[in-house]
Structure 1
Amino acid sequence: MLKKMSSERASQVQEHLKKLGVGEGIAFKFGGRVGSSMPSRQLLHLARSKGPIVQTTVAEELFRFLWECEKEISQTEILVEIGVLSGLDGKEVRQALKEGRGVEEVEKEQREAKEDGLDGVPHYVVGGKIHLEGAVDLGDFFNALVKAKESNGE
């Protein structure tokens, strides 16, 4: 986070996230190290092939390990642990990471997102027109949904 903004702005964002997290039962911590995001994206790609419930569980565990447990989610052993906790076979996870499974697909998705003007996460598009970035609270989502509905004449 500090690489993309000033330390003052990063502190403000962290405090905002902590406040939002409390309401959702999330105890944000910021001591974890991200490293390359490709291995975690590979894990998500593998999880997607197992169905939306597994993929969602993996995404939630990645989030928890990074933001609450302060783990480095680019490390193979951490990713295998996350995979197993999410219902995946540990050997399959390890093999998929070792073989680079999903890298091409993830890179393609990344290129397409960049071509669409998206360069940060999270990034939400509501109604195909309204873009929301970062830690967005429920009120902002609601307002975006209302605007999208109104612009469609409903």
Structure 2
Amino acid sequence: MNTPITMLNKPVIKIDVVSDVVCPWCYIGKRRLEKAMQQLSSEYTFEVEYHPFELNPEMPAQGTNHRAYLVDKFGSEDRYEQITNHTTQVAATEGLTFNFDKQHISPNTRKAHAIVQLAKLKGKDLTVIEDLFKAYFTEGTDLTSDKNLIALAIQAGLDREEVELLLSDEGSLKRIADMEKEMHKLGISGVPFYIINSKYGVSGAQTPETFVQVFKEVGKEVTSGEACDVDGKNC
């Protein structure tokens, strides 16, 4: 379990975040969620835990050409430009820099998720998540490369030998696949998805204001926001 963001002796709100590290709305949603938690930091203690979800679990280990993959997914070059420009503009309003032109490879993300789960045991998962998002969306880092993944893990404070063993262990990757199956059993088909206090679902990268409302009225569900769907054509 992660270290609570705020002081103790306040009501606890647990947030389970289901996301993929190559989902742009998951990164945008992360920033919006953080802003909402900051606004209410004097009222609640927040505990955040990330769970794996692959938008394309069939992606080959070596990945595929990023632009060609998304152009095919969206249906045209024009649609690709429209969607990536819109997403980049929205990200900028949250203080994030998206550089789609630097992304050359759409990766299989199972190894990245395995590193996040290892980091969770060390209390460093939120750092690793942030670093993976930034590496992919801002820096255009190739996340199919074990070398790059190991470097990001070490940067977050993980042990090189542990990470190398993890990435060579087929069992650890199978565990990620099993965890994802559990998410699907809950009916989750798109990300980001947030489970509040193990009971209430919030779909999509909601605004900070909406998250604040949800936290204050946990018993109410909210409408869906923009998200990346497995079979969708919007990101």
1:87 to 154, 157, 161: 157
2:89 to 1, 8, 19: 19
| Matched residue SS, 1:42 | helix
| Kept in 2: contact 1:47–1:58 (CA 8 A) | yes
113-122 vs 96-105, greater mean Cα deviation: 96-105
1:141 and 1:4 map into 2 onto residues whose CA distance is: 30
2:88 and 2:174 map into 1 onto residues whose CA distance is: 35
| Kept in 2: contact 1:43–1:93 (CA 8 A) | yes
2:182 to 101, 104, 112: 112
Equivalent positions of 1:53-92 (< 5 A) are 54-92=124-162
2:133 and 2:167 map into 1 onto residues whose CA distance is: 19
Alpha-carbon spacing, 1:139–1:13, altered in 2? closer, same or farther (3 Å): farther
2:109 to 13, 37, 42: 37
Alpha-carbon spacing, 1:136–1:34, altered in 2? closer, same or farther (3 Å): farther
Structure 1: runs of 5 or more not aligned: none
2:212 and 2:86 map into 1 onto residues whose CA distance is: 19
How many residue pairs get aligned? The number is 148
TM-score (ref. length: structure 2): 0.54
1:86 and 1:25 map into 2 onto residues whose CA distance is: 21
| Kept in 2: contact 1:46–1:102 (CA 8 A) | no
Matched to 1:86, the amino acid is A
Matched to 2:185, the amino acid is E
> CA offset at residue 106 of structure 1?
1.3
| Matched residue SS, 1:27 | coil
> CA offset at residue 137 of structure 1?
2.4
Alpha-carbon spacing, 1:130–1:42, altered in 2? closer, same or farther (3 Å): closer
> CA offset at residue 132 of structure 1?
1.5
- Indicate the structure with greater helix content: 1
Alpha-carbon spacing, 1:14–1:145, altered in 2? closer, same or farther (3 Å): farther
| Matched residue SS, 1:102 | helix
1:4 and 1:144 map into 2 onto residues whose CA distance is: 33
2:198 is aligned with 1:132: no
Equivalent positions of 1:136-151 (< 5 A) are 136-145=206-215, 148-149=218-219
* Aligned sequence identity (%): 23
| Kept in 2: contact 1:130–1:144 (CA 8 A) | no
> CA offset at residue 4 of structure 1?
4.6
Matched to 2:184, the amino acid is K
> CA offset at residue 93 of structure 1?
1.0
Higher relative contact order (CA 8 A, sep 6+): 2
